Structure 1
Amino acid sequence: MKKEYSAIPESMRTMETYGFSWMDFVTAIPSPLFVVTSYKSNGKPNACLQSWACFTGNPGGFYAILSSVNKSGHMYQSIKEKGDAVLNFPSADIYDKCIATIANNGFDNDEITLSGLTAEQATGINAPRIKECFLNLECRYLWEREIKDGDTQVLMCLEVVNVCADEIHLDEIIQGRYGEKGYLYNIHYPINPENFAGKSRDWIATLEKLKDMGEY
């Protein structure tokens, strides 16, 4: 039997949502996990573990749509100041180092190096990228907008101008982009709204290919 929810369930009324909609936690739709890197105004590398994004392209280009960028954070400020950023996709073996960037987020910190990762200069833009990540998307800022007027978060569009990827991840026979060593996904607080008791947390997941859809 299906349940329908158009208003916050009673069990969730006192839940801390950290600025997200209660529907985020009811749906728990996974989103790719990556680290956004850029240079702060003092020249130090900024690193922000990020999710809530989608990627789309057309004959004119390939674009990253970041759907939850806090206007008060270093990531927003540095991208607006410099206009460049790299989206770095980690595998599970370096996840703990990527999440350490959250604690090492002081303005005067090199947030990449302090977290045990290696910063290297991007090829086509003025931003650092993380050497250990198997995929790096070098991007330029295009536009932003508030989903609703007065929101503290913005929807931000970045244009991908260069792709840097490990050879073994490009080859689906050797390693590929999926499985335990491939893309990571953030599963945001999957809860049962019928009996939520204040105990839940995010999960990290990997993706497995299920079925070959054939040539087209």
Structure 2
Amino acid sequence: MKIEIGKEFPQYFKPLYPEEFELFSHFETTTGIPTVLFAITTWKENRQPNVCFHAWSCFHGDKTAFFAVMGNLYQHTHTYANILREQCFCINFLPIRYYDRLVETIHNNDYETDEFQAGSFTLASAKAIHAPVIEEAFMNMECTLRSVEDLSGAGVTSMITGQVQHVSVDEEYASGYKKRYGKDGFMMLVPAPQDLVTGEPAQSAIATVDIEMLD
């Protein structure tokens, strides 16, 4: 037997925090689909560097181009305005040991704030675009803006697609699986899985990737 959840909000779902279902669809906690966590870096209009800790994205392309497709980027944020203005952004992948420092950039994100300083990150310059880069990241992905789409039409979030122009990879991560996966590699967000029987909430989890087999 399968539990069926429709588009109408299940009234027995309990939020983990008061605004949870104002911010997120109930399908997010219904499915609990993991996605990679990373930091989007841009310049604010006042030339202070901006950091946005983000997930809800995918990366794919064909032989002609490679794309970063970032869903659920809130339109009221500095990051959204910066990307529209600068027409570019950088994606920085950091291991799980940097989680707390990335959270600091969420708590210290005023317009006047240097968010690299807030997270104790080293600022570097992108190679192919005009954007700041986190030096501590094991991989930096430089993107130019390709498209912006308000999927819901509600003016709340947008899906931003960037075309990858350049990638920098730490030499220690250049070969094999050991560094890119596990505690030194990609950090994952596991959205809080709702108890679909009782409606009780759960906390989101931060995970790493274990290689189980080779295909």
- TM-score relative to the length of structure 1: 0.92
Give the length in aligned residue pairs: 211
Deviation at 1:14, TM superposition (A): 6.2
User: CA-to-partner distance for each residue in 1:160-183, whole Å, 9 max, x for gaps?
Assistant: 10001111112116x331111110
Question: Aligned in 2, Cα 1:56/1:92: closer, same or farther, shift over 3 Å?
Answer: same
* Partners of 1:90 and 1:183 within 8 A in 2: yes
Deviation at 1:95, TM superposition (A): 1.3
* DSSP-derived class of the 1:33 partner: strand
* DSSP-derived class of the 1:76 partner: helix
Deviation at 1:51, TM superposition (A): 0.5
Aligned AA (1:159): Q
Aligned to 1:3: 3
* DSSP-derived class of the 2:117 partner: helix
Aligned to 1:129: 133
Identity of matched residues, %: 28
Aligned to 1:62: 66
Structure 2 distance, partners of 1:154, 1:114, is 26
1:35-184 maps to which residues of 2 (within 5 A)? 35-172=39-176, 175-184=178-187
Deviation at 1:79, TM superposition (A): 0.6
Q: CA RMSD in A?
A: 1.5
Structure 2 distance, partners of 1:34, 1:74, is 16
* Partners of 1:9 and 1:193 within 8 A in 2: no
Structure 2 distance, partners of 1:51, 1:14, is 20
* Partners of 2:15 and 2:21 within 8 A in 1: no
Structure 2 distance, partners of 1:210, 1:34, is 23
Q: Which moved more, 1:30-39 or 1:95-104?
A: 95-104
- TM-score relative to the length of structure 2: 0.93
Structure 1 distance, partners of 2:135, 2:90, is 11
